[in-house]
Structure 1
C-alpha cells in the first residue's frame, strides 16, 4: 500500500486527550483538558431546542446566520472596541479552531512561517504543520511571561508571513498589556506581517488586568484576524461555535474556505447561540468573579501542595512548577510526564505535562497545567486532595 500523507508522520494524540483517558481509568478529577463542566445558559439551550423543533435544520450561509453575525459584530464593536462596521467583516466558524484553519488557508502559502510565542497552545502548532506552514518559536520569559521584541525581530525571515498571539494565554494565563501590544504592532508594521489573535478567554481576566484586542489599536485592524469562541464564555465546548472578524476582503475568502471544509456551522445551534446576546451584563461580571474565586481557591491549594507559580492574569489555567517537589526528593517528580502520572495515582487529579506547550520538551520538564473550570463541589474536592498531598509529603509546613 502507498504510504499515508507525510504531514501525518509527526501526529500523535495530544497529551491533553491522553490524560483525559488516564484520569477516567482512575475515576479522578480531570483538570487537564480545558473543559468547563458548567451548564450552558438556559436561554441558549432553549433557543437551540426551539430551532430544532422548528426545523431549522438546513445549511446556513457559510459564514453563519445573519442574526448571529449582526449580534457578534455588535459585540466586537462594544466589548473589543474593534473598528468593524459591517456584517461582511464577521463570520461564525466551527469553533475558534475553524476560524484559525480558514485564516491560515486564506492568507498563507505553503512553506510560509508563522511566529508562535511559547509556551503555546499545541493545536495551533500542529495545525500549522499539517497545513504545510512552518511554526517558528519565540519564548516568553519572566514571571509575567514577557515578550522579548529583539528575539521576535531576530526570528523574522523573508518567509515570515504572520505572528500568532493567544491573549489571554493558554497555558500560562498571560494577559498582554497595551504597551506590549503596541510594540508588537510596530514590529508587524515594520515587516508588513499579518497577526492572528486567539482571544477565546477574553472575558476572564483578574487583578485589574483587562483584555485588549490588537485590532482595536490604531493601525491594527487592517492586518489582524481576530478569532474568538463562544465555548468558554457560555460553557458550550461541544457546540463548536466560534467567530472571526477582519476586513471584508479577508472574511470573504475565509468564508469560501469554510464552505469547502465545513459547509457551515451547525444551523440550529447558531439560532440557540443568538439568544446568548440577550443575557444581561451581570452574566459576564459574575463569570469573571466566579473564576477569580476559583482561581484563588485552587492557587492556595497548589501552594499548599508545594507547587511554585505566579497566579494567572487571565483564562482558567494555572501553569505551575513542581521543581520544589523534585528538589525535595519526592519520588515520581523526575519530569513532567512522571509528575502527571504520580498526581493521578496519589490524588486522582489529571493535569497536562508541560512538554505539551514547548518546542523543546526540556523547557516544560518541571511544569504541569491545571484547569480550574470546575463546579465548586468538584473544585473543592480537588483542593482537598492537593492539600492532603502536601500534608503527606510535608511540603506545606
Structure 2
C-alpha cells in the first residue's frame, strides 16, 4: 500500500496524555494533565441545557453565535483593553487550540520561522511542525523566567514571521509584565513580525500581579492575534470552546479556515458559555483565592520533600526542579525516571520536563505538577508525596 502522509511520520502521543493513561491504569492521582476536575458553573450548564431543549442543534455562523461574539467583544474591550470595535474581529473556535491552528494557517507558509519561548506548551510546537513551519527557540530560565531580549534578536532571521507568547504561561507560570511586552513590541516593529498571544489563563494571577495583553499596547493590535477561551476559567475543558480576536481582515481569514476545519463550534455549548458573562463579578476573585490556596499547598509540599520550586506567578502549574533530589536519592536521575518514581512510590502523575524544551537535557531536572484539582484530592496527593518522600 502507498505510504501515509509524511506529516504523520513523526507524530507521537504527548507526554501529557501518556501520563494520564498511566495514572488511569494504576488508579493514582493525576497532577499531570491540566484537566481541571472542578465543577462547571451552574449558569453555564443551565444555559446549555436550555439551548438543547430549545432545539439549538444546527450550525451556527462559522465565527460563532452573535450574542457570544458580542459578549467576548465587550469583555476584551473592558478587561483586556483591546481596541477592537466590531464582532467581525472575534472568532469563536473549537477550543483555543482551534483558534491557534487557524491563526498559524492564516499567517504562515511552509518554511516560515516562528519563535517559541521555552519552556513552551507542546501543542504550540507540534502544530507548527504539522504545517511545516519552523520553530526557533529562545529559553527563559528559572526562577524568574525572564527573557533575554538579546537572545531573542539573535534568533530572528529573514524567514522569521511571528513570535508566540503565552501569558500566564504553561508550564512555568510566568506572567509577562507590561515593560516586557513593551520591549517585545519594539522588537516586533523593528523586524515587522506578528505575535500570537495565548492568554487562556488570564484570570489566574497571584501575589497582586496584573494581566496585560500585548494587543492593548499602542500600535500592537494590528500585528497581534489574541487567543483565549473558557476551558480553564470555567472548568470546562471538555466543552472545547475558545476564541480569537484580531483585526477584521485577519479574523475573517481565520473564520474561513475554521469553517473548513470544523464548520463551527458546538452550537448549544456556545449558548451555554454565553451565560458566563452574566455571572456575578465576584466569581474571579473567588477563583483566584481558591487557586492561591492550592498553589500554596502544593508548593509547600514540594519544597518540604526536597524540590526546588519557582512559585508560579499565574496559571495553575508548578514546574518544579528536582536536581537536589537527583544528588541525594535513587529514582531521580532524570525527568523520565523521576516521573516513573512518583507514579510507582506515591501514585502521583506528573509531566516530564523534557516535554517543554527542544533539548531534552534542558528539562532533565524538571517535573510539571497541576493543582487544578478538588481540594480533598489535592490534599490527598500532597499527603502521598510527603509520606513517600518526606
TM range (shorter): over 0.9
CA contact (8 A) 1:304 1:386 kept: no
Q: Which residue does 2:20 correspond to in 1?
A: 20
Distance 1:102 1:223 in 2: 16
Distance 1:175 1:209 in 2: 8
CA contact (8 A) 2:64 2:92 kept: yes
Distance 1:229 1:144 in 2: 26
Q: Which residue does 1:191 correspond to in 2?
A: 191
The 3-state SS of whatever aligns with 2:282 is helix
CA contact (8 A) 1:357 1:364 kept: yes
Q: Does 1:250 align with 2:250?
A: yes
Q: Which residue does 1:334 correspond to in 2?
A: 333
CA contact (8 A) 2:354 2:362 kept: yes
Give the superposition deviation at 1:142. Answer: 3.9
The 3-state SS of whatever aligns with 1:84 is coil
Distance 1:259 1:34 in 2: 28
Q: Does 1:171 align with 2:167?
A: no
Q: Deviations over 1:8-36 (max 9, x none)?
A: 12111100111001111111100000111
The 3-state SS of whatever aligns with 1:276 is helix
Q: Which residue does 1:112 correspond to in 2?
A: 112
Give the superposition deviation at 1:387. Answer: 1.5
Distance 1:142 1:239 in 2: 33
Computed over aligned residues only, the root mean square deviation of the Cα atoms, in angstroms, reads 0.7
CA contact (8 A) 1:33 1:371 kept: yes
Give the superposition deviation at 1:389. Answer: 2.2
Q: Deviations over 1:56-79 (max 9, x none)?
A: 000000000000000000110111
CA contact (8 A) 2:67 2:274 kept: yes
Q: Deviations over 1:204-251 (max 9, x none)?
A: 010121110000011111100000010000000000000110100100
The 3-state SS of whatever aligns with 1:147 is coil
Residues 1-397 of structure 1 mapped to structure 2, 5 A cutoff:
1-328=1-328, 330-391=329-390
Distance 1:177 1:142 in 2: 16
CA contact (8 A) 1:51 1:272 kept: yes
Give the superposition deviation at 1:332. Answer: 1.0
How many residues are aligned here? 390
Distance 2:166 2:131 in 1: 19
Distance 1:10 1:177 in 2: 36
Residue 206 and residue 388 in structure 1: after superposition, are their counterparts in 2 closer, same or farther (change >3 A)? same
Q: Deviations over 1:86-140 (max 9, x none)?
A: 1111111111101011111111111111100000000010000001111110111
Distance 2:312 2:84 in 1: 30
Q: Deviations over 1:235-285 (max 9, x none)?
A: 000000001101001001100011000100000000001111111110011
Q: Note the residue ranges of structure 1 that are not aligned, 5 or more in a row.
A: 392-397
Distance 1:132 1:57 in 2: 36
- TM-score, scaled relative to structure 1: 0.97
The runs of at least 4 aligned residues of structure 1 exceeding 3 Å deviation read none
The 3-state SS of whatever aligns with 1:68 is helix
Distance 1:148 1:8 in 2: 34
Q: Note the residue ranges of structure 2 that are not aligned, 5 or more in a row.
A: none
CA contact (8 A) 2:117 2:164 kept: yes
- TM-score, scaled relative to structure 2: 0.99
Q: Deviations over 1:138-165 (max 9, x none)?
A: 1112421111111111111111100000
